[in-house]
Amino acid sequence: MPLRGHAFAGLLCILVCSGAPASNASAQLTTLHDFCSVRLCHDGSQPSGPLLRDPTTGDLYGVTYSGGSALGGALYRLHQMNSRKWRVKLLHSFCSNVNCSDGRNPRGNLIMDTAGNLYGVTEHGGPLQDGVVYELSLENGGYHLTILHTFGVTPDGRLPVAGLTYAGAAFGALYDGISPLFGTTTVGSAPGHAGTIYMLANTGGIWNETVLYNFCSLKNCHDGSSPGSSLLMDSNGNLFGTTLEGGISHYRRQTEGYGVIFELSNPGAPAQSLIVLHSFCTQRPHCTDGSNYSYPFEISISDDIPNTNALTMDAQGNLFGAAPGGGAVKHGCCGVLFKIAADRSPSSYTVVYNFCTKFNCKDGANPNGELLIDSKGTIYGTTLTGGGHNIDAYNLGGGAAFRLSAAGLETLYAFCAVGSCLDGAYPGFGLASDGTTLFGTTILGGPNAINGSLGDGTLFEIAP
């Protein structure tokens, strides 16, 4: 199933969280690690980005929004010791330097270069607490963090919540370490602007940042506002992404909107231009085409960590993604999966699945995170809520992992199936795969979700 797109002991929840799958699911889940299972949460707390799988070693890398030895978030590696045991190792604890100059609250996806170095962003920290871009490299047997760019020092945008991309990332190539990197910020570089697309270029070992586009440049932010997802670059170098607000909508004040899907063609060139491929919530009634604006609740963690709906491209050049709101079910409550055909025509946007179609939302609700697409066109992903086990803190269901094929949507696993969400709750960042097994994280829940605690998230494995 080829898909596109010192040590802390990992807690194998063999007795509690694995075994027979939930009654409305078709796969088995094993909890590989329960976050905050180490004293003072030195192993991290509340995952805040998708997993990155090293194609050579099979190790998994990710970030947590809080926890770590300095409590500003953590970058970790999960290594498989044997067939039944995984171990988490803390690679960097953010906010380790004075005034958190090394960054605070990492978010979004990580990328890896051909030498095994990792790159990512933090939402806060840096000289003005507006976030940083960092590189974590292996040196002399240890890990060393280097700041490539600090936001807010110049008029370059602030508060990045999504990671980086580069040429070839969409097709599985590792980063070469020298090509330009591209990302987004949620706050613009000038008054009245609401987010940016930026480029980092390496010239003689020095990284220089350039703002390629300021959102809300059009009246009433019809070009989008507050980009919240990582970017996708096609083989021609064009960038695609989504915004959380802005666009043209029939239902909210025109200065807000429900988000857009955009394309930035020829980024950095004189002929550069941004095109809105679709504005959400333009179909009546109740935003049947989907909505990127908000969720039915705010998870009680810092800055509402979700909103990471990156786009995925199949081999034919079609774009796929998830919108957490809107849809044709229950007055547009529950989200959709969508497709934009390769021709990018005005009519190329279609909804391919409406969530909460099944009783009690057993198929999931509020999809979130990047989708995986295999060579047969089967789509894999996660929903933040739904699944049918409404014992979570918000009584909306703990979310689900799903598979969508020509035969329809199948719920692989519905979370909160055990106790007080001891198997995890709210899988917010999609799935990673080794070609056979699926891996992911939940934002809350886990074996520590007892005695009124919501838990601090898990890292799980699903065998479809």
Q: What is the pLDDT of residues 344-362, one digit of tens each?
A: 998 899 999 999 999 999 9
On whether the CB atoms of residues 422 and 13 are closer than 8 A, the answer is: yes
**What mean pLDDT is predicted for residues 194-202?**
95
The answer to whether residue 164 scores a pLDDT higher than 80 is yes
Q: Which residues does 338 contact at the CB level (< 8 Å), separation at least 6?
A: 278, 289, 290, 320, 321, 322, 323, 349, 350, 351, 352
Adjacency order of strands within the sheet including 132-139: 104-112, 118-124, 132-139, 142-150
pLDDT digits (tens, 9 = 90+) for 377-428: 999 999 999 999 999 888 889 999 999 999 999 999 999 999 999 999 999 8
What pLDDT was estimated at residue 459?
97
Residue closest to 121 by CA, chosen among 157, 154, 89, 87: 157
Domains and CATH numbers, the chain: 8-53+169-463 (2.115.10)
From the list 110, 153, 109, the residue with the least C-alpha distance to 131 is 153
Q: Which range scores top for mean pLDDT: 83-92, 236-245, 296-305, 449-458?
A: 236-245
Q: Is the pLDDT of residue 253 over 60?
A: no
pLDDT attached to residue 304 = 52
| Nearest-angstrom CA–CA distance, 400 and 411 | 7
Q: How far apart are CA 208 and CA 185, in angstroms?
A: 16
More confident: 330 or 10 = 330
- What confidence tier does 19 reach under pLDDT thresholds 50, 70, 90? very low
Q: How far apart are CA 411 and CA 273, in angstroms?
A: 40
> Residue 17's pLDDT is what?
41
For all residues of the chain together, what is the average pLDDT?
88
Q: Extract the runs of DSSP E, i.e. beta strands, from 13-131.
A: 28-34, 45-47, 52-53, 60-66, 74-82, 85-93, 104-112, 118-124
Q: What is the structure's pLDDT at 22?
A: 46
Q: How far apart are CA 257 and CA 194, in angstroms?
A: 13
Cα 51 to chain centroid distance, Å, stands at: 9
Note the pLDDT of residue 193.
77
Identify the burial level of 419 via C-beta atoms within 10 angstroms of its C-beta, where 0-12 means exposed, 13-18 middle and 19 or more buried: middle
